[in-house]
Amino acid sequence: MGGDTLNEDKRIDMTRAILVTGGAGYVGSHTVAYLLENMGNDLEIVVVDNLINSYRKPGQKKPESLRIIEDMTGKTIHFYNCDIRDVQAMHRVFQNHLIECVIHFAALKAVGESVTKPLEYYQANVSGTCTLFEVMRDHGVHKLVYSSSCTVYGEPQRLPLDETHPTGAGLTNPYGRSKYFCEEIMKDLCASDKKWSVISLRYFNPVGAHPSGRIGEDPRGTPNNLMPYIAQVAVGRLEELQVFGSDYPTVDGTGVRDYVHVQDLAEGHAGALACFNKTEFTGFHAINLGTGTGYSVLQMVAAFEAASGKRVPWRVAARRAGDVAVNYADASLAARTLGWRARRTLADMCADTWRWQSTHPHGYAT
């Protein structure tokens, strides 16, 4: 397994703990780092991850992202290499720690891949989430921050997208449907039992890296998302960028998205945790995390070239199944309820990504 043992029923730590599922992945690891850098010593971080989206060096017990975070912060992360669908393993995690809330990242996450592998996405994202909720309920844990997505809005009926926009209608891919289904399950759960408090953070396109350059996005295989693809072309790991579609009704024909720095997202998760201290903050709440500004694919390429000083060659390919032309956020609810606003600019996003990629051309395996 690696990490802390799952073979005993004995509680190994009586300190209050936050469980982070998928905490070794991209957004999860940056959130773990932010919490350890900014919270006191009265909370422990427990991470469950099956390592499908992360890397562990041979002979190491913990994935590289968490090992580096421990070195950066001087704090220990309790790590369990298991899948959230493993009921018995998850019960042992809750028996070993005094968990008071959960941040749930664990999921398959690529829009394009979900179109070709829908069963895998529903099994991991929907069934896995239901198993997690059952285990939480059995252990009396009812506070959850959920990693959702703007894809639950489907084809935008209006822009910017705010939380009153309909969800579930016109969804274009199984990934978005899996997130929508999970949100509906959470609504039913909160309606059935008033003890539950769920904050579903619908974030837009995560990019960037920790400002130290020591942790960042390290996708397995060919990247499914734009920014790591651009970065790998700039560093010479990939030959050229494929631009999926150049005939969208946008400024230059390429898709427009709201890109938000991963450090801003980490701060948003911390803000959501703080809401659990408010007695009125019960039930289900959906909150957007985005900048409110959309950038096209070619605008992102130009910004990255400026930040890195590298040319990023590209060619147009056919549109990708499941993509929409434009989406960007109205994040005013996050400002009102979480005290959160995206603070980092597109230049910051590109500079931090390049700092990570240029020093880790092959990701954590470098």
Q: How far apart are CA 115 and CA 124, in angstroms?
A: 14
β-strands 205-207, 259-261 pairing: parallel
3-class secondary structure per residue, 141-159: CCEEEEEEEHHHHCCCCCC
Report which residue type is found at 31: T
Q: How far apart are CA 134 and CA 146, in angstroms?
A: 15
β-sheet bridge partners, residue 286: 200
Pick the catalytic residue from 153, 175, 203, 248: 175
Gap between the terminal Cα atoms of the chain: 24
Sort 318 into a burial class: Cβ within 10 Å, 0-12 / 13-18 / 19+: exposed
Catalytic residue check, 248: no
Give the HSE-up count for residue 332: Cα atoms under 13 Å, Cβ half-sphere: 5
Rounded to 5, what percent of the chain is helix, strand, coil? 40, 20, 45
Neighbours of 9 (CB within 10 A): 9
**Catalytic annotation, residues:** 175
